[in-house]
Amino acid sequence: MEATNIRVVTIGRADKLDDVNGREEDCFRSFNSCPGGHRTDADAGAGKKKEIKITWLGHSAFEIVSPSGTDIIIDPFLTKNPATPTELKDLAHYHPAYVLVTHSHGDHLGDAIELAKMSKAKLVCVAMLEAFKKGELPRELFEGVNVGDVVKAGDVKIHVVPAMHSSEPSGRPVGYVLEFADGRSVYHEGDTWIFGDMALIQEFYHPNIILMPVGAVADGQMPQMAWLAVTRYFKPEVVIPMHYGALPGSSTEEDLRKVFGKDPRVVFMKPGETKSF
């Protein structure tokens, strides 16, 4: 498959996309999947694998710290999130370099604008003009993206991928694949139903860790369909359920365990818990 017209957005330094045919380092496919590519121990640093730290903040909110320390927060619905521990509702607790938002619904956009203003972090998302105007977000803190874009955020490449949902009052829903320097990747699905192009996300980015939305049914999601999407299209090492246990009508952990069984790849987290991978 030939890829053309790929836009790479660089934050913090000047880079360019040298080869729009998808064969160089900045192509939308990670190095491991490019023709003739393979990762050796030397490529990964030839030493002990460094850790990716993932903290679940409740619902779809996560803080992810790369092996080199790049701090990224996704969907920071915090101050009004019933599942977020009290001590983590204080936005002053966070010092992200980048804030990612999957869509403009309040349980995902949440405190993103205020957090970006407080921490001077770049807000990376599809343009949500009504929300930005209301929040008075300074233009220099906003990095607009669309499906297919790649944002270079320190040692992390942020790939913007589709999602099947809505995004009132503005914007469009997306997911994010965070690709790390050692070739591993984390896929935050956002809010989504199963869709056929998940096969391309697997082909291009082969996520090792999937943050999987599992409810509520009122949002067009259900655990059975979320699990079908993972088992049909992906080959992850770890699956972390999210988007449950916070809002009325959402799934419980007991509900989810009945669907996932004892699959060892499924890792349940508690809000406020940090795990290293």
Q: Is the pTM of this model over 0.85?
A: no
Helix, strand, or coil (residue 199): helix
Cα–Cα dist 223/246, whole Å: 15
Strands 274-276 vs 53-56: parallel, antiparallel or unpaired: antiparallel
- Which residues neighbour 273 within 8 Å (Cβ) at sequence distance 6 or greater? 55, 56
247 against 197, higher pLDDT = 197
Q: Which of 3-17, 150-164, 179-193 has the lowest mean pLDDT?
A: 3-17
| Domain boundaries of the chain, sorted by first residue | 51-271
* Of 69 and 8, the one with more pLDDT: 69
Tell me the average pLDDT across 159-171. 89
Q: Which helix (H) or strand (E) holds 132?
A: helix 129-135
User: How high is the pLDDT of residue 170?
Assistant: 74
> How much is the pLDDT for 166?
86
Q: Residue 154's closest CA among 212, 70, 226, 78?
A: 70
Question: Which residues make Cβ contacts (< 8 Å) with residue 208, sequence separation at least 6?
Answer: 184, 185, 186, 236, 237, 238, 277
Question: How high does pLDDT run on average in the chain?
Answer: 84
The tokens for 190 are 């956002």
pLDDT confidence band for 51 (50 / 70 / 90): very high
Res. 30: pLDDT tops 50: no
pLDDT at 219: 53
Most confident of 5-9, 192-196, 253-257, 272-276: 272-276
pLDDT in tens, 98-140: 999 999 898 999 999 999 999 999 999 998 877 777 778 888 9
Is the pLDDT at 81 greater than 60? The verdict is yes
- The model's confidence at residue 169, banded by pLDDT at 50, 70 and 90, is confident
- pLDDT-based confidence at 90, cuts 50/70/90? very high
Segment 241-246 shows an average pLDDT of 93
Question: With 70 as the cut, is the pLDDT of residue 16 above it?
Answer: no
Which CATH number is correct for 51-271, 3.60.20.10, 3.40.50.2300, 1.10.260.40, 3.60.15.10?
3.60.15.10
Q: What distance, in Å, lies between the first and last C-alpha atoms of the chain?
A: 32
- For residue 196, the model assigns a pLDDT of 96
Per DSSP bridges, beta strands 156-162 and 174-179 are antiparallel
67 touches 51 (CB < 8 A)? yes
